[in-house]
Structure 1
Amino acid sequence: MSRALFSLAIPLIIHLLNKGDVKTVKVGSVKFLRESDTKQSRKIRLNELLLLFLRMLLLALIILYMAEPQWKRNVEKASLTYLIEPSLVDDETFMSFTDSLPQNNMRWFIEGFPEFEVEIDPKVNPNYWQLAQKLHEVHSDSIVVFTKGLVQGIKGTRPRISQKVHWIVVDNELEIDKYIAAKKVQDSVLLYKVSSSSLVTDLQKNVLSGNDEKIKLMTGDSLELEESGKTIKVPIVKNDTLKVTIAYDEYYQKEMQYFSASLEAVREYGMQEILLNRIDADAQFSEGRPMDLLIWLRNDKVPEIDLTTIAIKKDSLANTLLEKTESKNRYHLTGRLNIKNTIEENFTNELAKLLLEDDSLYQKMKGLDQRVMAEPELTTIVSNEGVDSQSFQSMDISPWIWLTIVLVLVLERILSKLKKQ
């Protein structure tokens, strides 16, 4: 913004340059001209300065608007605030308990932490630790978070925050037993069933013959299965095999091993066949070879191919291990892989997102995961760094600046038209 303010000199430079563009007319005597035009000249110069000021002010307001300024004001802190995970709305016992809590101290545990009276989507699955890093937006001395504590809500590293937060895991008694997909295997059908509770999530695979009496109807994309007197519709997934090539040299051999292990996990838990081809430094890479993903772990130039490619490019400022680039289908591995960062940054999950579609078996199984974290494992680290004794609330003043810009522009146009400048 400081550099942009130098542009305020533009109207001043134009003004000074225009002053030099004056024609000199020789006359016999200027005695009477000097006496008669003094007041009029002063008025013209005053109008010029006023227009100059308005134009510089207009430019300054535009720069300020683009900076998206926030107005900070002191706010009173609450002594205690209760945050509630949206999915707990379906728990009648818990919702009855909330009636005993002070309503003005209750908020939803989602992005923005809206008031409890606001209608929200109960199916939202919050990222607990990501939201914990934003708890400074809740102006409260102490915070209590009521949550299901689902394992799927834990992503990234344990955060350091300034507030004291007490996490309370509400008992999750929901148990899921659901068929998520089927695959045709020659004359048989392979059924995938997810069983999940607060303790464990299990994937079961059952094989039925194509003419089994349980199968009532089978089409190209689904089958109807009769079980326990109920008819269940199960989607049929394709048997497509993903072809992945890893080109590596000796320096990145460990990275090759981490990628291989992650791809094996994706194959096992994503229920997706993966054909893996490894090419070391002594082997020649063929660009014409059919593949769905190329992982380039070499220091030489990355092939320019129209395929999804992951190439290593170290970046200490990157937020994730796998980052999308501006190029189509190109991703960067931003650092060397080790046990610590592959676990903390969910490397296998990120690779699965890249390989598998949103409606894949992996995503369906992940959405049904009801495993619960123990309360001690949810505890965040309290840090005194950057703690301020005062609490502030930011207010966007951009609309007011925009209104001022319009008013100044109208005033400048009117004055310019009247004075023909």
Structure 2
Amino acid sequence: MTFLQPTYLWALFSLTVPLLIHLLNKGDVKTVKVGSVKFLKESDTKQSRKIRLHEVFLLFLRMLLLGLIILYLAEPRWKTKVQKAALTYLIEPSLASNEAFIAFADSLPQNDMRWFATGFPDLEAEVDRGTVPTYWQLAQRLPEILSDSIVVFTKGLIQGIKGRRPAVDPNVHWIIVENESDVVEPVGAKIIGDSIMLFKAKSSSQITDLQVKVLPKNDASVVSLTSDNLVWNASGKTSRTPILQNDTLHVTVAFDESYEREMRYVTSALKAISTYGMQKINIKTMDADTEFKEGKPLDVLVWLKDGNVPDISKITLAMVPDSLANSLIEPAESKNLFHLTERLNIENAITKNLTNSLVKLLLFNRTMEDNLIKKDQRVLPETEFIPNVATSKSKLKVSTLDISPWIWLAVFLVLVAERILSKTRKQ
């Protein structure tokens, strides 16, 4: 037997409390005055022996009741012998649509095969094949599988990497299966005059990009168009896309003299975006002598000043140089906060496409963002994807049986017996 909370076993010392109370309790003693005890005999009747027996038995029941409660708090588990599988295959559910992989899986020895999903169900079970598993969380649950060796077939998508990289046993082997094809699907649309600006996610194992396609409202591919949704047909496939609202954006650019050059680059890019009809933008600039106060109208704040960035609920772009950044504008840890990672000049404004970066920031929409994440097919390199291997020797896997329900049954029976005896003896 093992205990999940063995610290509670120290409470067993409390069993001495009812024992001490019993030993120190003399009960109600009545003194009867007699002239002489010369002619009285010492007697040990059956009745007195029965009384003492009942008292000891009642003491035992109370100590047993307290001991069972302490045992329950320690969470006992009974070890049982189980037969481990020699080899277990875990398959990410989305791979079921990969014909090449399914043909390969059929050729494998028919060992224990399960889905790489919550609970690791058998392949006969119905699972959600459209949701990407959270790889690190599932990796932490792998010790629950009783197998000498585990092989995990997975796509290794970046969107499935959440949380801290776990450590797994050396007997777990990870194999990344390459995607069959790239994904090109719509994630949002905007109505601009007589045209429709369609945003499509193009994603492969290497990169995910947001593409823009402009088509007229009367295009043959447009099936129906409402204020909320666009239904269109492309290559025989009908898709429904949410319509993004095209209200005027109010952008405030706050700057110091040291960042006047950055202010000019940013405002020029914003004017270009507005001129080409991608988004109506109202630009307001604030120099160092003007104190910023949050008010309406304000949708986006560009903060080109030293010091603390205002904590507001609107999208904020702040100058925070970062030599390790991969792009000119990157999201920060705080919601709606983005960092401008370099001082701007002609070279990086062109090569790193400042205007397109601002377009993605201004078109930041939760619906489109969620759709873009769902279409993300980027794969983490295998050397970076594999979880850490535990350096310590793995412990022998054993199966344990929770005996807590039986303890509760014993507590109930002992409590009933104690109450009956206590009421009978009036103790």
TM-score, L = length of structure 2: 0.62
CA contact (8 A) 1:174 1:370 kept: no
Q: Give the corresponding residue for 1:258.
A: none
The answer on 1:362 being equivalent to 2:347 is no
Q: Which secondary structure does the structure 1 equivalent of 2:53 belong to? A: helix
Q: Give the corresponding residue for 1:111.
A: 118
Q: Which secondary structure does the structure 1 equivalent of 2:96 belong to? A: helix
- For structure 1, the residue ranges without an aligned partner over 5 or more in a row are 246-270, 276-281, 294-302, 309-337
The answer on 1:53 being equivalent to 2:60 is yes
Q: Which secondary structure does the structure 1 equivalent of 2:128 belong to? A: coil
CA distance in 1, matches of 2:42, 2:279: 95
Equivalenced residues, count:
356
1:50-88 deviation per Cα after TM superposition (whole angstroms, max 9, x unaligned)? 233323332333343344333344545544332222222
CA contact (8 A) 2:98 2:180 kept: no
Q: Which secondary structure does the structure 2 equivalent of 1:402 belong to? A: helix
The answer on 1:26 being equivalent to 2:42 is no
2:410 aligned to 398, 404, 415, which one? 404
CA contact (8 A) 1:215 1:225 kept: yes
How far 1:237 sits from its partner (Å)?
3.8
CA distance in 2, matches of 1:291, 1:4: 62
Q: Compared with structure 1, are the counterparts of its residues 125 and 42 closer, same or farther at alpha carbon in structure 2 (3 Å cutoff)?
A: farther
Q: Compared with structure 1, are the counterparts of its residues 231 and 367 closer, same or farther at alpha carbon in structure 2 (3 Å cutoff)?
A: closer
How far 1:206 sits from its partner (Å)?
3.0
How far 1:3 sits from its partner (Å)?
5.9
Q: Give the corresponding residue for 1:235.
A: 242
Q: Give the corresponding residue for 1:265.
A: none
Q: Which secondary structure does the structure 2 equivalent of 1:236 belong to? A: strand
Q: Which secondary structure does the structure 2 equivalent of 1:360 belong to? A: helix
Q: Give the corresponding residue for 2:178.
A: 171
AA paired with 1:396?
A: D
CA contact (8 A) 1:177 1:196 kept: yes
How far 1:10 sits from its partner (Å)?
8.3
Q: Compared with structure 1, are the counterparts of its residues 80 and 217 closer, same or farther at alpha carbon in structure 2 (3 Å cutoff)?
A: closer
Kindly name which structure, 1 or 2, has the bigger radius of gyration based on alpha carbons.
Answer: 2
Q: Give the corresponding residue for 2:21.
A: 16
AA paired with 2:403?
A: I
CA contact (8 A) 1:103 1:116 kept: no
CA distance in 1, matches of 2:160, 2:395: 31
Q: Which secondary structure does the structure 2 equivalent of 1:406 belong to? A: helix
- For structure 2, the residue ranges without an aligned partner over 5 or more in a row are 253-277, 283-288, 301-310, 315-321, 338-363
1:197 aligned to 204, 211, 217, which one? 204
Q: Compared with structure 1, are the counterparts of its residues 55 and 361 closer, same or farther at alpha carbon in structure 2 (3 Å cutoff)?
A: farther
Q: Compared with structure 1, are the counterparts of its residues 129 and 26 closer, same or farther at alpha carbon in structure 2 (3 Å cutoff)?
A: closer
Q: Which secondary structure does the structure 2 equivalent of 1:182 belong to? A: strand
Q: Compared with structure 1, are the counterparts of its residues 27 and 122 closer, same or farther at alpha carbon in structure 2 (3 Å cutoff)?
A: same
How far 1:229 sits from its partner (Å)?
6.0
Q: Compared with structure 1, are the counterparts of its residues 348 and 122 closer, same or farther at alpha carbon in structure 2 (3 Å cutoff)?
A: farther
CA distance in 2, matches of 1:288, 1:64: 62
| 1:255-404 aligned within 5 A | 351=335, 360-385=367-392, 387-388=393-394, 390-404=396-410
CA distance in 2, matches of 1:241, 1:50: 85
1:90 aligned to 97, 117, 125, which one? 97
CA distance in 2, matches of 1:401, 1:292: 61
CA contact (8 A) 2:194 2:216 kept: yes
2:232 aligned to 208, 217, 225, which one? 225
CA distance in 1, matches of 2:116, 2:33: 86
TM-score, L = length of structure 1: 0.63
AA paired with 1:222?
A: N
How far 1:27 sits from its partner (Å)?
1.7
Q: Compared with structure 1, are the counterparts of its residues 228 and 125 closer, same or farther at alpha carbon in structure 2 (3 Å cutoff)?
A: closer
Most deviating of 117-126 and 361-370:
117-126
CA distance in 2, matches of 1:214, 1:379: 43
CA distance in 2, matches of 1:243, 1:164: 57
Aligned-CA RMSD value: 5.4
2:136 aligned to 111, 115, 129, which one? 129
1:320-346 deviation per Cα after TM superposition (whole angstroms, max 9, x unaligned)? xxxxxxxxxxxxxxxxxx999x9xxx9
CA distance in 2, matches of 1:38, 1:94: 87
Report sequence identity in percent: 49
CA distance in 2, matches of 1:187, 1:410: 82
Q: Compared with structure 1, are the counterparts of its residues 114 and 62 closer, same or farther at alpha carbon in structure 2 (3 Å cutoff)?
A: farther
Q: Compared with structure 1, are the counterparts of its residues 145 and 11 closer, same or farther at alpha carbon in structure 2 (3 Å cutoff)?
A: same
The answer on 1:151 being equivalent to 2:158 is yes
AA paired with 1:395?
A: L
AA paired with 2:30?
A: V
Q: Compared with structure 1, are the counterparts of its residues 352 and 198 closer, same or farther at alpha carbon in structure 2 (3 Å cutoff)?
A: farther
1:117-142 deviation per Cα after TM superposition (whole angstroms, max 9, x unaligned)? 44433334222233333333334343
Q: Compared with structure 1, are the counterparts of its residues 122 and 52 closer, same or farther at alpha carbon in structure 2 (3 Å cutoff)?
A: farther
How far 1:116 sits from its partner (Å)?
4.2
CA contact (8 A) 1:15 1:52 kept: no
| 1:60-75 aligned within 5 A | 60-73=67-80, 75=82
1:154-175 deviation per Cα after TM superposition (whole angstroms, max 9, x unaligned)? 3345443332433222232143
How far 1:413 sits from its partner (Å)?
3.2
CA distance in 1, matches of 2:298, 2:43: 89
